[in-house]
Amino acid sequence: MVDLQAQYQAIKADVDAGIQEVINSAAFIKGPKVEAFRQHLEEHLGVRHVIPVGNGTDALQIALMALGLKPGDEVITPTFTFIATAEVVALLGLTPVVVDVDRDTMNISVEAVRRAITPRTRAIVPVHLFGQCADMEPLMQLAREHHLYVVEDACQAIDAQYTFSDGTRCKAGCIGHIGCTSFFPSKNLGCYGDGGAIFTDNDRLAEEMRAIANHGMVVRYHHDRVGVNSRLDALQAAVLDAKLPHLNEYTRRRQEAAAAYNEGFRDNPRLLTPVCIPASTHVYHQYTLRVTGTDRDRLRDQLAERGIPAMIYYPVPLHLQKAYQDPRYKVGDFPAAEWLASCVLSLPMHTELDNEQLDYIIRNVNLLTA
């Protein structure tokens, strides 16, 4: 699905030098490498504050901790996503309220959010799934009307760009009150272990989240609130700082691979290719087909036999997960999400796909669905 080894070979000198520098300095926790990467990422994204943390799940948790929510407060999130989003809501004693997604974009449905708002709703956590922004203009408008916080899960969408109707452009994660991302190795900007970051333009929230990520401490050994320990490792910051200058190029290569897939599957009536909204660019964390009129799971197995990995992100929506069983929800409540869970199939997508590999994948997918 990804080829991190080939990508490393192309930037080996810079990565190795950065790692060596950290080892020589022995500044393994915080220190100048983390600071440098933080600053470079702030400049790259055009956001006031980047707060590096231990991983994307921590980023989401710290973001929600900073909002001063009380047990029972409701947080709205899509049911078709990775589990982390709902997990942190549940861990904090908040009430996850899941809503359906759009069948075409696979992102949170703004209409469904509107219907799910109650007097207890405090925040919305849209997920920019597979690399395309959720439709943030109407979502932010809705949030303003109801005085809700918006915490973007931009773990799959770093560098995707959203254009508002007045022409304003914002990067994914820099639109709502807070944005979260992950540097998990296979993410679009991935390190060689765990890593994550929080974005915000709000000085007060930034200060709060920096303290929370550091044991709730502003003045050393004075703890004003309950916090956690979540830091971006300096060695990982060295990897990320070497990769960041290549991010535009990496995104372009993903988009080229996606364009080749789109072209290759254009005339295949059994495959629905990704649908993009005009307001957002797509950075293709995943290239996800919707397979119709043929057995998706059999197709995946047959592709595997031909040496082509394909993955199902995600086979079970949140409302049907055992750990999140809730009398409020049952099978059939979120038809788009349940349909997607039955038909999505993600093909290999990374920065090192060459034409020969793409041709081989396209040819075999078309053959097996003919």
Ligand X SMILES: *Cc1c(COP(=O)(O)O)cnc(C)c1O
Nearer to ligand X, 107 or 369 (CB): 107
Residue for token digits 């409701």? 74
Binding-site member from 162, 184, 192, 287 for ligand X (CB under 6 A): 184
Binding-site member from 7, 61, 109, 156 for ligand X (CB under 6 A): 156
Binding-site member from 73, 74, 153, 208 for ligand X (CB under 6 A): 153
Taking the CB of residue 26, how many other CB atoms lie within 10 A of it? 9
Q: Is 346 in the site for ligand X (CB under 6 A)?
A: no
Taking the C-alpha atoms of residue 49 and residue 13, their distance in angstroms, rounded to an integer, is 29
**What residues pair up with 214 in beta bridges, in sequence order?**
229
Q: Is 274 in the site for ligand X (CB under 6 A)?
A: no
Binding-site member from 7, 15, 37, 56 for ligand X (CB under 6 A): 56
Binding-site member from 47, 51, 55, 94 for ligand X (CB under 6 A): 55
Taking the C-alpha atoms of residue 323 and residue 325, their distance in angstroms, rounded to an integer, is 6
The span from the first CA to the last CA of the chain, in angstroms, equals 23
Window 66 to 105, contacts with ligand X (CB under 6 A): 81-82, 84-85
Size of the site for ligand X (CB under 6 A): 15
Query: Comparing C-alpha atoms, which of 167, 110, 112, 173 is closest to residue 144?
Result: 110
Q: Name the residue number minimizing CB distance to ligand X.
A: 56
Give yes or no for a contact between 52 and 237, defined as CB atoms under 8 angstroms apart.
Answer: yes
Window 219 to 258, contacts with ligand X (CB under 6 A): none
Nearer to ligand X, 129 or 143 (CB): 129
Q: Is 127 in the site for ligand X (CB under 6 A)?
A: yes
**What residues pair up with 150 in beta bridges, in sequence order?**
124
Residues near 68 by beta carbon (within 8 Å), at least 6 away in sequence: none
Query: Comparing C-alpha atoms, which of 305, 367, 315, 306 is closest to residue 344?
Result: 315
Among the listed ranges 53-61, 141-149, 241-249, 353-361, the one in contact with ligand X (CB under 6 A) is 53-61
Q: Would you tell me which residues interact with ligand X (CB under 6 A)?
A: 55-57, 81-82, 84-85, 127, 153, 155-156, 182, 184, 194, 196
